[in-house]
Amino acid sequence: MNRRVFSQIVALGAGTLGAWGESAGAASTASHAGGAPDQASPPPPPDERPPQPASVADFQRLAQARLPRATYEYITAGSTDENTLRENVAAFGRLRMLPPLLAGVDPVDTSTTVLKQRIALPILLAPVAGLGLYHEQGAAAAARAATAAGTIMGVSSSALSSVEEIAAAAAGPKWFQLYVPKDRVVARRLVERVERAGYKAIVLTVDLGERKDVDLRNRFRLPHAVLLKHLQDVGFPVTDRMSDDELMAFNDQAWDLSLSWKFFDWLRPITKLPLLLKGVLRADDARHAVSIGLDGIVVSNHGGRRLDGVPASIEQLPQVVDAVGGKADVLLDSGVRRGADVLKAIALGAKAVLIGRPLAWSLAADGEAGVKKVLDLLREELVSAMQACGCANVASIKRDLLLP
């Protein structure tokens, strides 16, 4: 999308969604009004450019203005009563930072290491399904933005581009998130392709079975051609002679939703890639994952899109970190909306965080530039929080910055 179209969308967002437009306008008026009037020179002309997105929430509003309602709701909603969705954000808000005074640091280094990979900031793109629905360049745009920001992209099994297409789009590091085809021949070929395409790790997501009221109400489903390409990209033997209903029925039974720990007996021997488990909330599960030699754990409730009523990920993080005892890298997602949230998660022991909806909203708003901008904003907010807390680097972000 070019700048002009983006500006129109920004203006549309401001115009149709009063609150943001009004507060942005009020802020710019206030800044012009500030300071003593200078009699000698005329006041500067008012800045007539449309407001620019300054936060994840601004990108959410832009996505809402741009996307079909059902698509926006698919991204944004949580499961059933959305208690967990709300808790994810509220729990970050309840955490209080208590920085020491006069501990000035400049510059601040946001780089860190995850699964032995050096990255420029401790914020990764979470695996998100349907990227091709939110922007015409879909997963390729997200991959380029992650590469430009110096971070890792988690590539969903349902990103709507093949693993090879995404690998070719940008050279930066990528992890592949595996939804498991029931047909283990298809599953094995997929894992082999991921390894050949240069992905750096496999993330096994185990909190399965999304159920959201809005999607039922909106009868949300992939268009036939999109679903066909998606299933072919994974490696399923589907053809364009199949009807819509046949394709849907195929998709409904194609994926293994009843995984157990035994699955790792199948997966571990067929790939050399590091393995992460995504969807961990319990200390005993984390201990089990470490005991079978998994390399990483993602503390996650799937952004409140799976079982409603489970606790916020950030609340479970300390006990998972303690259970893991440094034997695997622990990451966290669900509810990260600000750079200060990243600092809080790292203070509680996460190596890094992943962002789901902020990726989808910013991609919808402005493709690659949007995702890059949201990563930049979060990095700038993180730098600001680190400076305020006297942390010159990620390793110096410690638990005692937070009120117990």
Ligand X SMILES: Cc1cc2nc3c(=O)[nH]c(=O)nc-3n(C[C@H](O)[C@H](O)[C@H](O)COP(=O)(O)O)c2cc1C
By beta-carbon proximity to ligand X, the closer residue of 193 and 302 is 302
By beta-carbon proximity to ligand X, the closer residue of 14 and 65 is 65
| Pick from 379, 378, 314, 324: nearest CA to 348 | 314
CA gap 350, 332 in Å, rounded: 6
CA gap 316, 308 in Å, rounded: 15
Q: Rule CB under 6 A: is residue 340 a binding residue for ligand X?
A: no
CA gap 60, 370 in Å, rounded: 11
**Residue environment code for 374-398, b if the CB has 16+ CB neighbours within 10 A, otherwise e:** bbebbbebbbebbbbbbbbebebbe
By beta-carbon proximity to ligand X, the closer residue of 24 and 329 is 329
Beta strands in 126-274 (DSSP E): 153-155, 174-178, 201-205
Give the residue nearest to ligand X (CB): 356
Residues classed as catalytic: 302
Q: In angstroms, give the least distance from the CB of 354 to ligand X.
A: 6
Beta-carbon contacts of 193 under 8 Å, excluding residues fewer than 6 positions away, are: 163, 164, 235
CA gap 349, 330 in Å, rounded: 7
By beta-carbon proximity to ligand X, the closer residue of 24 and 336 is 336
CA gap 63, 365 in Å, rounded: 5
Q: Rule CB under 6 A: is residue 190 a binding residue for ligand X?
A: no
Q: Which stretch binds ligand X (CB under 6 A): 193-201, 238-246, 295-303, 320-328?
A: 295-303
Q: Which stretch binds ligand X (CB under 6 A): 35-43, 120-128, 283-291, 340-348?
A: 120-128
Q: Rule CB under 6 A: is residue 278 a binding residue for ligand X?
A: yes
Largest CA-CA distance found in the chain, in angstroms, rounded? 79
Give SS3 for 46. Answer: coil
By beta-carbon proximity to ligand X, the closer residue of 21 and 53 is 53
CA gap 119, 124 in Å, rounded: 9
Q: Rule CB under 6 A: is residue 357 a binding residue for ligand X?
A: yes
Among 71, 162, 205, 271, binds ligand X (CB under 6 A): 205
- Count residues contacting ligand X (CB under 6 A)? 24
Q: Rule CB under 6 A: is residue 84 a binding residue for ligand X?
A: no
Among 60, 147, 158, 162, binds ligand X (CB under 6 A): 158
Among 13, 132, 296, 335, binds ligand X (CB under 6 A): 335
Among 127, 132, 138, 235, binds ligand X (CB under 6 A): 127
Q: Which stretch binds ligand X (CB under 6 A): 137-145, 220-228, 328-336, 376-384?
A: 328-336
Q: Rule CB under 6 A: is residue 303 a binding residue for ligand X?
A: yes
The count of residues in the chain is 404
Give SS3 for 102. Answer: coil
For binding to ligand X (CB under 6 A), which residues are involved?
75, 88, 126-130, 156, 158, 177, 205, 278, 300, 302-303, 305, 333-336, 355-357, 360
